C-alpha cells in the first residue's frame, strides 16, 4: 500500500509554470518553467551510435527470453542523492560501458540488459520512451488463458507472438528541427509541450534547467506518431490566437504589471487546456524503480477510442512534484488495437461476451480484430465465416 499512494492518478504539472508559446510554421512549443529546483536529481544523456539495439527483458516480464528490438539513439542516466544535497555537476560522474557492441557487417548492433538498469548505488540507466513503448507492447501479451475453440494453435501456444509498432523519427516532422534550433530557452525552463498543427505531439520535462539545455535537441531524436508526421506535411501554420493587454486598463507601471501577469495567466490556462488530452486524464501506472524520494514509472492514459491517448514515463517526487516526463501520442490504430485487447482480457478472452459488450455481432467483432491486425489469433474457419457474413451484409 505504501507504493500504491505514489502511483499518479493523472499527469499534473505540480511545481511547474506554463509560459507563452513560440511558433515556427505548424510547430508550437510551450515552455515549462520550474518554480524551485532542488538539485538532488539530475539526468544525463548517453549517446549510442548503433543501427539497432536489442534489449534483453529478463526479469522484467513473465515470458523468459523476451527481447525488445528498436533503434535507440540515446539513453538517460538518472543520478540522485539520499540526503537532498546537490548531485555532482555534469561530467563529474563516472561513465560506464553500456552493453556490448556487435558489427554484423551490414549493421552495427548494441546488446543491452534491461530497459532500466542500476549502475551504482545512486545511478540508474534507462531508455527514454522505449521504457513506455515496451510496456505498451507487453499489454495483454500472453493472450488467452483459457483454451477457447476460436483461437488458433499459435495464439494458445505463443499469445500475441512478435508484437511491433511503427513510428516516425522527429527529424521527419516538418519544422520541428528548425523550431528547436531557433526558439529561445528561458532561464528557468525545464521542459516543453510540443504541438504540431495544435495537436499535442509530446510532453518533456527534466529536473533542472541545466539538464534541459543539454537535452533540448534530443527531442529531434524521439519517435512520434504517424498523425503528427501527416499534420506537419498538411499544415504550414498554427491556428491564430490573440491574447493581449487592454490598454484602457493601463495607467501606470503597477497596472501594466498586473495586466501582463493576467495575460500570462490566460495564456497558461489556455495552453493547459490545449493539452487536456494528456493532463488530468486518468492513468494506468506501474512503478518500475524506487529511488526514494523518487519513483520512476510508466503509464498509459485511460483507453478511450474517441479521444487522443498517450503513453509515457514519469519520475515523481514523494510530495507529488513532477521531476521527469516524456510522452508518446498513440495513433488511432494503436489505440484501437490495445482497446480491443483490453476488452478481450476483461471478458476472459471470450469473443461472444466481448462482442455483446461492444454492441457488435460475433462476425463484426471478428472483423474488427482483422482490421487491427489480430486476425492471426483466430482459427481460419472463424475468420472465413466472418468475412462471408460481412460480404453478404454489404450486398
Asked if 74 and 48 count as a contact pair (C-beta separation under 8 A), the reply is yes
Length of the chain equals 395
Neighbours of 385 (CB within 10 A): 14
Asked if 215 and 185 count as a contact pair (C-beta separation under 8 A), the reply is no
Q: What is the pLDDT of residue 66?
A: 85
The DSSP call for residue 33 is E
CA distance linking residue 119 with residue 379, whole number of Å: 46
Q: What is the pLDDT of residue 21?
A: 84
pLDDT along the chain (395 residues), means of 10: 62 86 88 92 93 84 74 95 80 63 84 91 94 92 90 91 91 92 93 91 95 95 91 76 62 70 61 72 90 93 89 92 94 93 94 95 94 93 87 61
Q: Which three cell numbers stand for residue 80?
A: 540522485
CA distance linking residue 78 with residue 115, whole number of Å: 13
Helix (H, G, I), strand (E, B) or coil at 131: helix
CA distance linking residue 310 with residue 201, whole number of Å: 9
DSSP calls for 211-270: HHHHHGGGGGGSEE-HHHHHHHHH-SSPPP------GGG--SHHHHHHHHHHHHHHHHHH
Phi, psi torsion values for 70, nearest 5 degrees: -170, 170
* Most distant CA pair in the chain, distance: 80
Q: What is the pLDDT of residue 233?
A: 83
Helix (H, G, I), strand (E, B) or coil at 121: coil
Helix (H, G, I), strand (E, B) or coil at 7: coil
Q: Which three cell numbers stand for residue 140?
A: 495483454
Distances (CA, A) of 228 to 31, 164, 234, 278, 384: 19, 19, 10, 16, 36
Helix (H, G, I), strand (E, B) or coil at 6: helix
Asked if 114 and 59 count as a contact pair (C-beta separation under 8 A), the reply is yes
Q: What is the pLDDT of residue 277?
A: 81
Q: What is the pLDDT of residue 19?
A: 87
Categorise residue 54: left if φ over 0, alpha if ψ from -120 to 50, beta otherwise. beta
Q: What is the pLDDT of residue 384?
A: 92
**Bridge partners (DSSP) listed for residue 76:** 45, 126
Q: What is the pLDDT of residue 130?
A: 96
CA distance linking residue 288 with residue 389, whole number of Å: 46
The DSSP call for residue 145 is S
Q: What is the pLDDT of residue 265?
A: 63
CA distance linking residue 382 with residue 395, whole number of Å: 20
Distances (CA, A) of 247 to 146, 218, 242, 261: 70, 41, 14, 14
Amino acid at each position: 500500500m505504501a507504493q500504491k499512494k505514489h502511483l499518479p492518478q493523472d499527469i499534473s504539472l505540480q511545481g511547474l509554470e506554463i509560459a507563452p508559446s513560440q511558433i515556427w510554421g505548424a510547430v508550437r512549443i510551450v515552455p515549462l518553467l520550474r518554480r524551485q529546483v532542488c538539485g538532488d536529481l539530475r539526468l544525463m544523456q548517453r549517446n549510442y551510435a548503433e543501427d539497432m539495439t536489442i534489449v534483453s527483458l529478463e526479469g522484467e516480464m513473465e515470458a523468459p527470453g523476451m527481447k525488445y528490438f528498436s533503434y535507440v539513439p540515446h539513453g538517460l542516466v538518472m543520478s540522485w542523492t539520499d540526503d537532498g544535497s546537490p548531485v555532482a555537476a555534469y561530467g563529474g560522474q563516472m561513465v560506464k560501458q553500456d552493453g556490448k557492441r556487435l558489427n554484423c557487417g551490414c549493421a552495427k548492433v548494441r546488446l543491452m540488459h534491461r530497459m532500466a538498469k542500476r549502475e551504482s548505488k545512486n545511478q540508474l540507466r534507462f531508455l527514454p520512451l522505449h521504457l513506455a513503448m515496451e510496456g505498451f507492447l507487453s499489454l495483454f501479451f500472453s493472450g488467452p488463458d483459457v483454451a477457447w475453440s476460436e483461437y488458433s494453435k499459435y495464439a494458445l501456444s505463443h499469445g500475441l507472438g512478435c508484437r511491433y509498432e511503427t513510428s516516425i523519427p522527429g527529424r521527419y516532422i516538418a519544422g520541428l528541427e528548425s523550431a528547436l534550433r531557433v526558439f529561445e530557452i528561458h532561464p528557468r525552463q525545464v521542459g516543453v509541450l510540443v504541438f504540431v498543427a495544435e495537436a499535442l505531439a509530446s510532453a518533456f520535462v527534466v529536473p533542472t534547467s541545466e539538464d534541459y539545455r543539454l537535452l533540448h535537441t534530443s527531442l529531434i531524436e524521439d519517435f512520434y506518431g504517424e498523425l503528427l508526421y501527416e499534420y506537419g506535411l498538411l499544415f504550414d501554420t498554427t491556428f491564430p490566437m490573440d491574447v493581449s493587454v487592454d490598454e484602457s486598463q493601463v495607467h501606470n507601471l503597477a497596472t501594466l504589471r498586473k495586466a501582463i501577469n493576467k495575460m500570462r495567466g490566460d495564456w497558461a490556462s489556455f495552453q493547459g487546456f490545449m493539452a487536456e488530452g494528456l493532463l488530468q486524464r486518468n492513468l494506468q501506472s506501474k512503478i518500475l524503480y524506487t529511488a526514494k524520494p523518487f519513483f520512476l514509472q510508466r503509464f498509459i492514459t485511460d483507453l478511450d477510442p474517441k479521444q487522443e491517448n498517450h503513453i509515457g514515463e514519469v519520475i515523481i517526487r514523494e510530495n507529488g512534484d513532477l521531476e521527469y516526463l516524456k510522452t508518446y501520442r498513440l495513433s488511432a490504430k494503436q489505440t484501437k488495437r490495445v482497446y480491443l485487447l483490453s476488452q478481450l482480457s476483461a471478458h476472459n478472452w471470450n469473443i461472444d461476451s466481448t462482442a455483446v459488450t461492444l454492441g457488435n455481432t460475433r462476425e463484426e467483432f471478428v472483423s474488427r480484430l482483422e482490421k487491427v491486425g489480430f486476425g492471426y489469433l483466430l482459427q481460419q474457419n472463424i475468420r472465413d465465416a466472418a468475412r462471408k457474413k460481412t460480404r453478404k451484409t454489404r450486398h
